[in-house]
C-alpha cells in the first residue's frame, strides 16, 4: 500500500505543478496586451500540449510494459485483485531506474538520451535561472521540477510561454554566476559524461547526482546581478563557453563511439531505436520536441544568427544552445 501512495503522490505533485503554472500563465495572458507576444505564447502552448500527449502516451506504455514484464518474471497470478497486483509491482520495481537503464544501455540509445541530458543540465538550467530572474518569472524552479517529472519539452515550452507573456522590462546585462550555479552546472555535465562508464552499482547514484544538481541553482541563490566580479564568481559568457566545450566534447565522443559500432545507416538505426522500447520512445520524442521547440524559440526571437538554430538536427541542442549565446555576443538569450 505504501508503494501505491508514493505512486499516487507522483501524479498529485504533477497536477499541483501544472495547476500552479497554469494559474500564473493565465493571469499573465490577461495582462499581456501585445498581440505578437500573445500569438507567440499560443504557438508554444500548442507545442507544450503536443509534446505532453506524445511523450506521455509512451510513458504510459512503459508503465504497462513494466507491469506485464514484472508479472511474467515472477509468474504472478493474474486472477487476484488488480490493486494488490499493482501494489506488488510498484513495491518490487524501481521504475525510475528501470526507465533510465532502458534509454542508456548501448551507444545509440545513449547517443539520443545524452542530447537531452546535456541540454537540460547545461544550457537550459542557465537559461531558466537567468531569464527567470531577468523577467521575474514566478515559481521558476517549478519548470525544472516539471521537466524532470514530466518532460523537458513540456516544461521548456511552458517556460517560453511565461517569457512571451512577461510584461517586465528585462535588464540587458546580467552579471556573473556564483559558484552555486557554475559548479552545479559543470558537475552535472560531468555526471552526464560519466554515464556510459557506470555499472549496476554506480548507475543510479550517478543519475541522481545529474538530476539533483540541475535543480540546485533554482533552489538556492546562484545569480549575482552586478557588474563587479564577486569572489569565485564566473561571467555567464565564460560559463556558456565551458558548457559548450563540455557538451560538444560529450556529443563528439559519443558520436565517434557510435560511428565505430554502427553497421547500418544512422537514420535507419535511430528510427529503429526510437521505437525499440516505450521508455526509449518517450525520451527519444522528448528530445525531438525539445529540439524543435528550441529552434522555433530562436527563429521567432530577436537574436542575431537565428539561422544557427538549424544546426540542432545535425549536431545537438545541448551544444548548439550555448554556442548561439556566444555567437550572438550576449550573456543572455535576448527576446
Indicate the domain borders of the chain: 2-327
Question: Structure pTM?
Answer: 0.93
Element (H, E) at 253: helix 236-261
Give the whole-angstrom CA distance, residue 156 versus residue 291: 10
pLDDT at position 216 is 87
Q: Lowest-pLDDT range, 95-99, 179-183, 221-225, 235-239?
A: 221-225
For the residues 267-275, what does the mean pLDDT come to? 93
pLDDT at 279 over 90: yes
pLDDT at position 78 is 67
For 51, 182, 231, the CA distances from 46, given in Å and listed in that order, are 9, 33, 43
* Closest to 191 (Cα-Cα) out of 259, 232, 237, 250: 250
pLDDT at position 328 is 80
Average pLDDT, the chain: 89
The pLDDT confidence band at residue 331, using thresholds 50, 70 and 90, is very low
For 4, 63, 86, 91, the CA distances from 83, given in Å and listed in that order, are 9, 15, 5, 12
Within a 10 A sphere around the Cβ of 42, how many other Cβ atoms? 13
The pLDDT confidence band at residue 73, using thresholds 50, 70 and 90, is confident
The pLDDT confidence band at residue 333, using thresholds 50, 70 and 90, is very low
pLDDT at position 178 is 82
DSSP label at residue 335: -
pLDDT at position 134 is 85
pLDDT at position 306 is 80
pLDDT at position 6 is 87
pLDDT at position 302 is 78
For 139, 155, 211, the CA distances from 290, given in Å and listed in that order, are 21, 9, 17
Question: What helix, strand, coil percent values describe the chain, rounded to 5?
Answer: 75, 0, 25
Q: Classify 234 as helix, strand or coil.
A: strand
Give the whole-angstrom CA distance, residue 191 versus residue 122: 11
For the residues 180-191, what does the mean pLDDT come to? 94
Exposure string of 66-103, with b = 16+ CB inside 10 Å and e = fewer, is bbeebeeeeeeeeeeeeeebebbbbeebebeeebbbbb
pLDDT over 90, % of the chain: 61
The pLDDT confidence band at residue 117, using thresholds 50, 70 and 90, is very high
pLDDT at 297 over 80: yes
The pLDDT confidence band at residue 162, using thresholds 50, 70 and 90, is very high
Higher pLDDT, 296 or 6: 296
Within a 10 A sphere around the Cβ of 139, how many other Cβ atoms? 16
Give the whole-angstrom CA distance, residue 259 versus residue 296: 29
The pLDDT confidence band at residue 242, using thresholds 50, 70 and 90, is very high
Higher pLDDT, 174 or 30: 30
Cell of 225: 546581478
For the residues 167-185, what does the mean pLDDT come to? 79
Long-range contacts, stretch 49-54, CB < 8 angstroms, 24+ apart = 50/289, 51/151, 51/153, 51/154, 51/157, 51/285, 51/286, 51/289, 51/290, 51/293, 52/150, 52/151, 52/154, 54/285, 54/289
For the residues 182-209, what does the mean pLDDT come to? 94
Q: 256 CB contacts (<8 Å, ≥6 apart)? A: none
pLDDT at 122 over 60: yes
pLDDT over 70, % of the chain: 92
Higher pLDDT, 50 or 263: 50
pLDDT at position 332 is 45
pLDDT at position 255 is 94
Extended strands (E) in 225-317: 234-235
pLDDT at 235 over 90: no
How many CA atoms lie within 13 Å of 115's alpha carbon, on the beta-carbon side? 25
CB 207 within 8 A of CB 165: no
pLDDT at 79 over 80: no
Q: Lowest-pLDDT range, 71-75, 120-124, 148-152, 275-279?
A: 71-75
For 10, 11, 12, 147, the CA distances from 85, given in Å and listed in that order, are 19, 19, 21, 30
pLDDT at 169 over 90: no
Strand 234-235 with 176-177, pairing? antiparallel
Amino acid at each position: 500500500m505504501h508503494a501505491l501512495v508514493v505512486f499516487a503522490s507522483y501524479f498529485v505533485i504533477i497536477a499541483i505543478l501544472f495547476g500552479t503554472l497554469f494559474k500564473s500563465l493565465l493571469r499573465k495572458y490577461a495582462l499581456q496586451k501585445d498581440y505578437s507576444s500573445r500569438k507567440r505564447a499560443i504557438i508554444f502552448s500548442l507545442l507544450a500540449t503536443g509534446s505532453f500527449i506524445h511523450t506521455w502516451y509512451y510513458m504510459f506504455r512503459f508503465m504497462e510494459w513494466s507491469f506485464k514484464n514484472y508479472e511474467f518474471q515472477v509468474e504472478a497470478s493474474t486472477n487476484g485483485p488488480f490493486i494488490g497486483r499493482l501494489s506488488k509491482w510498484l513495491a518490487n520495481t524501481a521504475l525510475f531506474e528501470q526507465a533510465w537503464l532502458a534509454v542508456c544501455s548501448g551507444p545509440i540509445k545513449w547517443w539520443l538520451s545524452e542530447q537531452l541530458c546535456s541540454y537540460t543540465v547545461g544550457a537550459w538550467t542557465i537559461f531558466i535561472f537567468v531569464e527567470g530572474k531577468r523577467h521575474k518569472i514566478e515559481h521558476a524552479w517549478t519548470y525544472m521540477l516539471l521537466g524532470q517529472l514530466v518532460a523537458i519539452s513540456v516544461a521548456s515550452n511552458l517556460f517560453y510561454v511565461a517569457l512571451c507573456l512577461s510584461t517586465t522590462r528585462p535588464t540587458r546585462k546580467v552579471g556573473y554566476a556564483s559558484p552555486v550555479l557554475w559548479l552545479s552546472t559543470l558537475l552535472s555535465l560531468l555526471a552526464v559524461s560519466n554515464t556510459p562508464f557506470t555499472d549496476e552499482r554506480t548507475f543510479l547514484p550517478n543519475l541522481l547526482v545529474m538530476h539533483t544538481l540541475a535543480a540546485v541553482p533554482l533552489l538556492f541563490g546562484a545569480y549575482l546581478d552586478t557588474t563587479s566580479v564577486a569572489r569565485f564568481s564566473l561571467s555567464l559568457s565564460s560559463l556558456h563557453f565551458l558548457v559548450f566545450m563540455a557538451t560538444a566534447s560529450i556529443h563528439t565522443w559519443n558520436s565517434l563511439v557510435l560511428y565505430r559500432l554502427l553497421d547500418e545507416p544512422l537514420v535507419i538505426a535511430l528510427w529503429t531505436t526510437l521505437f525499440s522500447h516505450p521508455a526509449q520512445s518517450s525520451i527519444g520524442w522528448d528530445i525531438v520536441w525539445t529540439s524543435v521547440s528550441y529552434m522555433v524559440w530562436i527563429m521567432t526571437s530577436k537574436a542575431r544568427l537565428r539561422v544557427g538554430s538549424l544546426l540542432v538536427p545535425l549536431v545537438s541542442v545541448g551544444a548548439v544552445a550555448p554556442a548561439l549565446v556566444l555567437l550572438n555576443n550576449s550573456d543572455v538569450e535576448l527576446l
